Amino acid sequence: MSFPLLTATAVLPAIGAVATAAVPAARRTAAKSLALLVSLATLALAITILVRFDPDGGRYQLTESHAWIADFGVRYELGVDGIAVALIALTALLMPFIILAGWHDADPLETGSKRWRPTQGFFALILGVEAMVIISFEATDVFLFYIFFEAMLIPMYFLIGGFGDRAHEHGEEAASTQRSYAAVKFLLYNLVGGLIMLAAVIGLYVVAGNFSLQEIAQARANGSLHMATNTERWLFLGFFFAFAVKAPLWPLHTWLPNAMQESTAPVAVLITAVVDKVGTFAMLRFCLQLFPEASKWATPAILVLALISIIYGALLAVGQRDIKRLVAYASISHFGFIILGIFAMTSQGQSGATLYMVNHGISTAALMLVAGFLISRRGSRLIADYGGVQKVAPVLAGTFLIGGLATLSLPGLAPFVSEFLVLVGTFTRYPAIGIIATFGIVLAALYTLVLYQRTMTGPVKQEVSAMPDLRARELVVVAPLIVLLIFLGVYPKPVTDIVNPAVKSTLSDVHKKDPKPEVEAVAK
């Protein structure tokens, strides 16, 4: 039997999480080093998946299938297409940087006090989230996907509520209350979405008789499985609601600003750059493939919601006083672009949406982690508490600027290519929506440049006059992300070559073709 590469990639961080949690409390450095080593080994396995995957070798590859709960048709089925491979690579790539950036985030608040926090628990929870996210990208059994889609909420709840940001203008007691509120809000929103999805999963089993994504999709395609129109629409809505909460799509987004504000910067990156991608990925894999007709029926309403997310998120980002909340609302706007690309139902739009998931993960990680380094130095998240940082910490300011420019999709940086493809793909089928969506780019330039101006330029405030520049560990975190932003901005072909065949398969699932150009090409 061939080596179960997909299982190994998900199980390794899970075993690492247990091993890290078992490290004695006094050996904090050993726990951190073990977590980092496990994340690097997982990255090596993800690279192996990337190397072994053949974009033209069929839709699902490296498949594994074993009986699990036979009486209910549940199987342990894994398989990856190009979209899943790209997102597994993103997840595994970001984890070592997240761990390095959070190296001191779970150190004791006060040695010997009741406010001490277990360092090994922090890193074990991060590895646990990684394991669950990776297997969610790999699962081709709907029930198996659902289990880990919901299970990842548990470690995320403790990461937000138990290891929150220490920078709070009203003191530790108020910070603890706010962290608890953010964690509970995150959990409740996602649990409600998950419960609605569970009802839809059960309904799907009643209709189809099994949970295998590939079998159900094939039966739908060859006509051996027919769903009544209303049944398909209700099942689609059950799945889509859960994914829209996770994504997060307006008006189901309100948990995200609180969660990111109260989390440490690495956990905030884990939320928006990794965990939230499961929602948009699942729209492509499950909504479009299982419910093609309902997906087309719901497209106009979803496009409007995505458009609102783009403009609403950008407008609220402009008015934020808190750095982390600004990045959170910017991410809501960016997720609007991703969902817009998915439901534009064009190859350019869906390729751009998938590329956007990858590029947004890298750009948000770069910006948020540098912002975290900045906040840890000053002890405040408020934009007004900064000024003139570029004069005392030029490297920190420069990396912050590059992360911000990537966020506003500056040409030459990775997000520009994906945003351009989303807009082109949308405009070819829905020109009015495509035109309105471009205003999100203008607003992105506004909130990014205003943020940089207020924090990095102008007179040096006394509180930041002695601020140190980036240290060696912090440079190791930020520099590779900036290199990737520039490389994928200039040469995105390695990613697009992987995802494009999967996008074509997704479009064929919903029986959509790209609109013909209005002007015929002139033959030479």
> pLDDT digit string (tens) for 204-239?
888 888 888 888 888 877 777 788 889 989 999 999
**3-state SS, residue 319:** coil
Distance of CA 301 to the CA centre of its chain: 23
pLDDT value at position 402? 92
Cα separation of 371 and 225, whole Å?
A: 51
Whether residue 292 is preceded by a cis peptide bond, meaning omega within 30 degrees of 0, is no
Instruction: Read off the pTM.
Output: 0.90
* Tokens of residue 28, six digits: 């904090």
pLDDT value at position 170? 54
Helix (H) / strand (E) element for 62: namely strand 61-69
Cα separation of 83 and 394, whole Å?
A: 38
pLDDT value at position 1? 47
pLDDT value at position 519? 60
Cα separation of 424 and 216, whole Å?
A: 32
pLDDT average, residue stretch 374-388:
85
Q: Which of 257, 270, 266, 262 is nearest to 168 (CA)?
A: 262
Tens-digit pLDDT profile for residues 81-121: 999 999 999 999 999 999 999 888 777 665 444 444 678 88
- Average pLDDT of the chain to the nearest whole number: 87
Angle at 23 between CA 17 and CA 24, to 5 degrees: 150
Cα separation of 414 and 88, whole Å?
A: 18
Helix residue ranges per DSSP H, 379-515: 389-392, 394-407, 414-429, 431-437, 439-456, 472-490, 493-509
Domain boundaries, the chain: 5-509
